Structure 1
Amino acid sequence: MIHISKYDAHPDLRLYSEPVLIDFYFLALKMDFETEENFGKTEYDDGRNSFAYFDKPKTLTGWNVKRPWKGFHILIHKSLFKDYAKNYNFSGYDRHEALFLNQEEETLLADIFNKAYAEYLKPNFSEDILLSYSNLILSYIHSFYKRQFDTRQKIYNQIVSDFNSYLDQYFDEKNESYQLPTVTFFADKANLSSNYFGDVIKHFTGRPPVEHIHDHIIRLAKIKLSEPNANISQIGYSLGFEYPSYFTHFFKKKTGFTPSKFRNK
């Protein structure tokens, strides 16, 4: 149900593996790491090759390194940890969105991993203590990701700006897709996972991207409804709603008025 490894204890670590689909939670701290893979390090991160990440079940994991690395990982059965993991969006981040640690963060996390490993080595270790350590690690990672967003502010300010630009362009006259814009659509534009993109937008604007998308749709709908001869059903279709009733329900939920009442008020 729980397995903890300290990499230093395994000098024969396999240096390469094709991606495999895991069916457990994978919480890792890797230090002094050299890799062919892209874990997402930027020029704004600490010079140390030290990072943490958290993979959930049904994630592909593989590696390609030049030499063994230091650190730990904790593997936890999905039934045992899902109630902890659901509180953290970063369980859905991609590998190129790892958390790069500064010296203080690395020291703190390494200490907790060491304590968990020491408990795990006991003949009758406490599962509850190991889960508590693991949840504490997640709490720190959550805090450290906020620091990483701030450290990379110049990069992520551009992502926020691009999001606003793409949102403005989505319903221009050249767009004939007639589909509601999704967070995934804009995340793909930024080459980020939906979870990481959502957290970046919320961190710098105070609101999740879906709220920005909904506000933009309502703003366009109000402009279109100001045209007295515009067909309400066609307005809904043009904004990506599959059925006019969906548009009416959405508009009333956001404004308190049906489209027809808004037009006539």
Structure 2
Amino acid sequence: MKHFKTISEYYKAIGLSEPDHPHFDIKSFEENMGKVKTKMHPFRHEFYFIGLRIEGKGQTHLGHSTELPEGISIFFNSPFQIISWDHSPDWEGYYVLFSQDFLTSSYRFEKLLDDYPFLKIDQAVPFEIDKDELPEILNIYEKIKEEYTNEREDKISFIEIYVLLLLNQVKRVFNKSKDKDKINNSIQKADLAHLSRFETLVESSFYPDAEVDEKANLHSPAYYAEILNIHPNHLNAVVKSITGQTALNYIHNHILKLAKAALSQTSSSAKEIAYSLYFDSPSHFGAFFKKNTGLTPIAYRKK
């Protein structure tokens, strides 16, 4: 399955030219017609996409074979989500897409997945909107497009504010949607499934007989997020919303539990324990252990 890490790679694959900005773009579907491929086999990419389809026929599959509603609809692509489509060249509407680099460059998006949970679900369930809700959402897309195509130095700051406005307007419509309960239910189920798989992965990765790639960083949430096919920020938001701790805290607590058990119940040296827990050196293990317990590994064993 093809996997596109940048917007440029994605655009090249679907038949569009390079975007003006490496981490953000906005287009109307009309300007893409006749250029973009009408059929795409399943693929993944690593950015967020918020689309407004006013008209257009054909099938779009998001996540677990979720198709777009018949009427005017808002739909999303999330990082690592499986997507495919078979469209007719008659779509009307707009879309914005932005990368994690775009989000991390601004404090405005620090709590993106907490504030706008409809973006984090791996199915990213689309929903239909009423005609009377269209003008306000359409106006925001047009404002973003207008700002994006000007030459002002501060345009990215304005685009960030308009994107936030778009997200809040979509959230307002989402909260009124007749499918809200169904979508929230799907979000909750997906979150619980991801948490369960994450917990299992963390535990099994540290089994003595586990087969681990030498380059793998078992101490990093990004390692587990890649296996789960979700963005590290998504994983962190899921773990924190359910357990109250970050994904990194969860991993560290598990390592600490294993270290304490080995120190109190085996005769293995601190050096042996350090390498069995995938620390790159005994000194790093010692620093980690002392930071979390207030004791060195040897002092803990004696105690």
Give the TM-score, by structure 2 length.
0.61
Q: Is the Cα contact below 8 Å between 1:30 and 1:69 reproduced in 2? A: no
**Any stretches of 5+ residues in structure 1 without a counterpart?**
19-24
SS in 2 for 1:16: coil
The total of aligned residue pairs comes to: 250
Q: Is the Cα contact below 8 Å between 1:4 and 1:117 reproduced in 2? A: no
Q: Is the Cα contact below 8 Å between 1:29 and 1:110 reproduced in 2? A: no
Partner of 1:251: 289
Question: Cα offset for 1:140?
Answer: 6.0
**C-alpha offsets along residues 46-99 of structure 1, whole Å, 9 cap, x if unaligned?**
8566313588xxx9xx985422333213479x8999326763666xxx999474
SS in 1 for 2:271: helix
1:14 to 26, 32, 35: 35
Partner of 1:212: 250
Output the CA distance in 2 between the equivalents of 1:163 and 1:40: 19
Structure 1 residue 112 corresponds to structure 2 residue 137: yes
Partner of 2:7: none
Partner of 2:273: 235
Taking the TM superposition and a 5 Å limit, the aligned residue runs for 1:43-58 are 47=69, 50-53=74-77
Question: Cα offset for 1:243?
Answer: 0.6
Q: Is the Cα contact below 8 Å between 1:50 and 1:100 reproduced in 2? A: no
Question: Cα offset for 1:5?
Answer: 3.8
Output the CA distance in 2 between the equivalents of 1:246 and 1:82: 31
Change (3 A) 1:168 1:129: closer
SS in 1 for 2:93: strand
Output the CA distance in 1 between the equivalents of 2:151 and 2:252: 50
Q: Is the Cα contact below 8 Å between 1:84 and 1:135 reproduced in 2? A: no
Output the CA distance in 1 between the equivalents of 2:109 and 2:143: 27
Output the CA distance in 2 between the equivalents of 1:262 and 1:142: 50
Structure 1 residue 223 corresponds to structure 2 residue 261: yes
Between 1 and 2, higher relative CO (CA 8 Å, sep ≥ 6) is seen in 1
SS in 2 for 1:247: helix
Output the CA distance in 1 between the equivalents of 2:275 and 2:103: 45
**C-alpha offsets along residues 185-227 of structure 1, whole Å, 9 cap, x if unaligned?**
3223323232323322223222221111100000000000103
Change (3 A) 1:260 1:105: farther
Q: Is the Cα contact below 8 Å between 1:39 and 1:96 reproduced in 2? A: no
Change (3 A) 1:47 1:201: farther
**C-alpha offsets along residues 28-58 of structure 1, whole Å, 9 cap, x if unaligned?**
4242666776532566x98566313588xxx
Question: Cα offset for 1:242?
Answer: 1.0
Q: Is the Cα contact below 8 Å between 1:51 and 1:100 reproduced in 2? A: yes
Partner of 1:21: none
Change (3 A) 1:125 1:40: same
Output the CA distance in 2 between the equivalents of 1:225 and 1:247: 12
Question: Cα offset for 1:151?
Answer: 2.8
1:132 to 141, 161, 169: 161
RMSD: 4.8
Structure 1 residue 39 corresponds to structure 2 residue 62: yes
SS in 2 for 1:253: helix
